[in-house]
Each structure stands twice: as C-alpha cells, then as structure tokens.
C-alpha cells in the first residue's frame, strides 16, 4: 500500500478518535522546567509518564513540581523499592476517605494521589496558585497518618497535573454540577485507572506545558504540529538509514521510534543526536524545552489498540471499534464510519500494519519508515 494511503487511513482514525469528545481541566503555570542541566541528567522529566503512577484519581500526562516535604528513605534494592511503594499505597488507602471528602475534586483542588519512581508520595492539584497553607494542611494530615504507621518525615511531592480524561470534566465551576454528577465524580476519583500512554523506554526530554482549558491545549498542539513539520526532512534522513522507525505527535509530546533490535548504547546515542536537532528547530519557533519521548519499536503488528475506544484489527486485518463512533471496515477491508454523516472511505486497512500500541486520540501526523 502506498504511504499516502496509509497516512489517509491514519487521518480518518485521528478524526474519529478526537470526535468522541474529551475534556480538559488543566492549570496554568509559567511552564518553567523544575530541573535544569543536561537533557539526560534531569532528575524528573514530565514527558516520562512512567515516572509517576497513581493510587487513585486521574492519570496525569505531564507534571510540574511545586515543592517537596519530608525525607526520602534509602532505597537501594528492587525489594526495598517494592516494599516502600507498598507502604505508600497502604498510606494512600488510609487517608483516601479524608482526602476525597475534603480536598479532592469536586470538593477541593486535589485531583491525583500517587507516587513517583524516586519514592515520594505525590499529590497533584487541578490548577495553579495553590496556597502554601493548603499544602501545609494536607502534608500535616499525611504526616500524622504516616507516623501512626511508624514512618517519620514522610516524603511528599506536591505538583500540578495535565489531564486528558473525558469521563470526568474538571469544571472550574462545581456549583453547576448535579448531585448525581458529584456522586459519580466522587466514586470515580477514589478508583485507580490504568494509563493509556507510557513513557519512552529509551529517553524522555523536555517539558509538557500545563493548560487551563482546551483552547490552550489546541494552541500548544498547533505549535507541536509546526515543529513536527519543520523537522520532517531531517528525520527522513535517519529513517532512510534505518536508525529511526517512526516519528509523530502523541497527545502532548513528540514521539520518536527507534528500532528495538539495536543495542541500548546505540539507541541512547541516536536519541542524544536526534533531540538537539528537534530542539533546535523548535527554538526557531519560540518553543523551548520541547517534549520528546524516545521509544523502542519493533515491526508493526496486527494489534492497534483496545483501550477506551476498543479500536482493534481482527484476524483478517479489518479495523473495528464499537465505542460510539461505529468505525469499521467491511468484508473487503474498506474503512467506513457511520457516525454523524455516514462517511466512508475506499482506502483499505492492511494486515501487518500496527500503530505502536498506543495510537488513541493523537493530535497530528506520523511518519513511518518505508519498507
């Protein structure tokens, strides 16, 4: 199949995914990186979604740290880290009721309770301008509960999250919410929800900005699209040499796919070489600290995705989804959709073509290495 046809199919998928509706309840900050220094030496990259994991609340797709309290324990072995993480989760369950009823949305500004890879207990807020007195109050609650478990100086990180979740619109005006909606949000917030997106397993660079509404997200997505297009020709050269397999826009960041069958050292060398190229072109467009995730990718497979949108290919390579959009392919493999206008396409979905395992609600285009 010609690359143009493949890109057309992907565009149809993107339009469908985004048409199902999402809500943004996100905050504004000055978007300064919490850390400075070399790209690979940063203590935290908010591009790396795997650095944080949630105990309950919404999954964030980019965090900015406000401040940290307490003292980290010594965690030198895998067993120590697992044990500490279990302790933090036990602590989270201990305080869940109080946090949810008093401080968590829709009753307050807290949106996520979790932990990070460093060992901090993490509290994420919905918007910026959080009073220090509020953080002190919440820390006192967490610290007192931790002391009851024999933990002194519990390490807690407070920050802002970037949220992309249709099920719970983070409305700035909660007084307009109905009682049934409030009850739904309360119950939803007390649950753990598996993230759709993952961090790059090779490297994660840059900073994802935090947005106060969907309009700010759209402005950012347009900037990323310009960077993506500007870098395209330079990326093509690496694809022609087989050093890269894919390059595209994913939600709030750029993503670069490096062949999985090369050595770790070579993967890191390529990422160190590629990022300054992307960053340099981004700076020409006044985008600094551009967020990019570098991931290992194999040969494209039949599996597309089956998360929230139930978007899959069956054994014959036919693309299907049964979530409100009715995007399907017929018995001949033709891509169709009967949602809001009975649109259809004669472009076919080819078996053996995958979408990197997480191709849901992407904003823009993708480049794939031609075979």
pLDDT, one tens digit for every residue, the chain (371 residues): 444 444 444 443 443 343 333 322 223 333 333 332 233 334 568 899 999 999 999 999 888 899 999 999 999 999 999 999 999 999 999 999 999 999 999 999 999 999 999 999 999 998 777 899 999 999 999 999 999 999 999 999 999 988 865 578 787 778 888 888 888 999 999 999 888 888 899 999 999 988 877 888 889 999 999 999 999 889 999 999 999 999 998 889 999 999 999 999 999 999 999 999 999 999 999 999 999 999 999 865 433 333 333 444 344 334 444 444 444 434 444 433 343 444 333 333 222 222 333 333 344 567 776 65
Q: Which of 350, 312, 273, 275 is nearest to 7 (CA)?
A: 350
The packing angle between helices 132-148 and 78-98, to 10°, is: 110
173: its two tokens: 């005006």
Please give the helix or strand (H or E) that residue 269 lies within, else none.
helix 264-284
pLDDT of residue 365: 67
CA dist., res. 194 & res. 190, Å (int) = 13
The structure tokens 């002194």 sit at 152
CA dist., res. 234 & res. 255, Å (int) = 15
N- to C-terminal Cα separation, the chain = 10
Residue 94 burial (CB < 10 Å; 0-12/13-18/19+)?
middle
CA dist., res. 156 & res. 66, Å (int) = 11
The structure tokens 């935090």 sit at 210
pLDDT of residue 66: 93
Residue 283 phi, psi (nearest 5): -65, -30
The structure tokens 């997505």 sit at 221
Residues 96 and 113: beta-carbon distance below 8 Å: yes
pTM exceeds 0.75, yes or no: no
Number of H helices, E strands in the chain: 6, 15
CA dist., res. 169 & res. 163, Å (int) = 9
Instruction: Provide the pairing of β-strand 156-163 with 121-125.
Output: parallel
pLDDT of residue 250: 86
Please give the helix or strand (H or E) that residue 64 lies within, else none.
strand 60-69
CA dist., res. 39 & res. 49, Å (int) = 16
Q: Report the SS3 class of residue 68.
A: strand
Q: Which of 165, 159, 163, 172 is nearest to 122 (CA)?
A: 159
Spacing of C-alpha 149 from chain mean position = 33
Q: Report the SS3 class of residue 191.
A: coil
CA dist., res. 211 & res. 31, Å (int) = 10
Compute how many other C-beta atoms are within 10 angstroms of the C-beta atom of residue 365.
16
Please give the helix or strand (H or E) that residue 259 lies within, else none.
strand 253-259
Residue 7 burial (CB < 10 Å; 0-12/13-18/19+)?
middle
208: its two tokens: 């994802």
Q: Report the SS3 class of residue 204.
A: strand
Q: What is the CA radius of gyration of the chain?
A: 22
pLDDT of residue 370: 61
């Amino acid at each position: 199949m010609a690359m143009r046809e493949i890109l057309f199919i992907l565009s149809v998928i993107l339009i469908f995914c985004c048409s199902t509706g999402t809500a943004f309840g996100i905050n504004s900050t000055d978007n300064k990186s919490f850390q400075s220094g070399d790209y690979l030496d940063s203590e935290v990259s908010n591009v790396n979604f795997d650095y944080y994991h949630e105990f309950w609340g919404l999954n964030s797709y980019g965090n900015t740290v406000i401040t940290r309290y307490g003292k980290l324990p010594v965690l030198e072995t895998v067993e120590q880290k697992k044990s500490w993480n279990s302790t933090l989760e036990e602590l989270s369950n201990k305080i869940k009721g109080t946090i949810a009823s008093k401080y968590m949305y829709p009753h307050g500004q807290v949106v996520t309770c979790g932990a990070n890879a460093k060992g901090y207990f993490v509290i994420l807020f919905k918007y910026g301008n959080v009073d220090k007195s509020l953080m002190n109050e919440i820390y006192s609650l967490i610290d007192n509960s931790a002391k009851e478990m024999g933990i002194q100086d519990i390490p807690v990180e407070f920050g802002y999250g970037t949220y992309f979740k249709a099920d719970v619109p983070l409305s700035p005006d909660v007084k307009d919410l109905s009682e049934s909606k409030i009850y739904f949000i309360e119950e939803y917030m007390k649950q753990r929800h598996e993230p759709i997106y993952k961090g790059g397993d090779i490297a994660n660079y840059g900073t994802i900005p935090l947005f106060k509404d969907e309009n700010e997200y759209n402005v950012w997505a347009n900037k990323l699209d310009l960077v993506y297009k500007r870098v395209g020709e330079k990326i093509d050269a690496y694809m022609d040499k087989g050093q890269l397999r894919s390059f595209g826009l994913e939600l709030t960041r750029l993503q670069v796919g490096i062949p999985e069958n090369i050595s770790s050292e070579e993967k890191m060398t390529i990422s160190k070489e590629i990022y300054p190229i992307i960053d340099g072109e981004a700076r020409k467009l006044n985008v600094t600290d551009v967020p990019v995730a570098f991931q290992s990718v194999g040969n494209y497979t039949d599996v597309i995705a089956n998360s929230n949108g139930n978007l899959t290919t069956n054994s014959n390579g036919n693309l299907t989804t049964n979530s409100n959009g009715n995007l399907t392919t017929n018995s001949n493999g033709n891509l169709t959709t009967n949602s809001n206008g009975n649109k259809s396409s004669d472009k076919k979905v080819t078996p053996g073509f995958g979408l990197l395992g997480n191709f849901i609600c992407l904003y823009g285009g993708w480049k794939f290495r031609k075979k």
